[in-house]
Amino acid sequence: MSHRADVSLLFDLFVVSQRMRRVLADGMAGSGMRPDEYAVYGLLFMYGPMTATEMAEQLGLPLSTVLDYVNAIDAAGHLNRVRHPDDGRAVRLALNSRGVGAHNRANKHWEVVRKEIEGSLQMPKSQVRAALAALDDAAIAAALSAGRVRARK
């Protein structure tokens, strides 16, 4: 590996993000899903049913962006909508059997990349995840202090 530019933590995060985007895009080619779509399907697969607002909070995305993903999943015929048991106005979202199938097909590609990345880590995965959580918390705090986001529940 060539010399890494020592610019700032945010620069490092940008570079790693770009590398991961490329690796994931290459790894997910032929899976029927882009990596960003897989993340949304994966959240619904693991934690659905959930509301779009809950999805936005978990994904760190604006609600309008989550709704674009939800509409695409619905248009693909992969979504179930059920009334929220505590709030009849709210809708909870889950993958239907076709959506689970699409997720499972794409998961085979995702897992190859995940195992490659995790197998190449030079420190325990738990430490990397702790550092990522700390960065996420710092990003949320910065956005809150600037008045750009609500506090996470």
Residue 120 has pLDDT above 60, yes or no: yes
135 or 84, greater pLDDT? 135
| Per-residue pLDDT at 148 | 66
Residue 88 has pLDDT above 60, yes or no: yes
For the segment 1-7, the average pLDDT, to the nearest whole number, is: 77
Alpha helix stretches (DSSP H) within 5-124: 9-28, 35-47, 52-59, 63-75, 97-120
Instruction: Tell me how far apart the alpha carbons of residues 97 and 143 are, in angstroms, rounded to a whole number.
Output: 37
Q: Which two tokens stand for residue 132?
A: 């990522």
Q: Please tell me the pTM assigned to this model.
A: 0.88
Per the prediction, the chain carries an average pLDDT of 93
Residue 92: strand pairing partners: 82
C-alpha distances in Å from residue 96, one per residue of 55, 73, 99, 103, 130: 17, 10, 5, 10, 33
Residues 6 or more apart whose Cβ sits within 8 Å of residue 33: 41, 102, 106
86 or 42, greater pLDDT? 42
Least confident of 1-10, 67-76, 78-87, 126-135: 1-10
Q: Any idea where the domains of the chain sit in the sequence?
A: 9-120, 122-153
| Per-residue pLDDT at 2 | 67
Residue 151 has pLDDT above 60, yes or no: no
Options 2.40.50.140, 1.20.1260.10, 3.40.50.2300, 1.10.10.10; which CATH number does 9-120 get?
A: 1.10.10.10
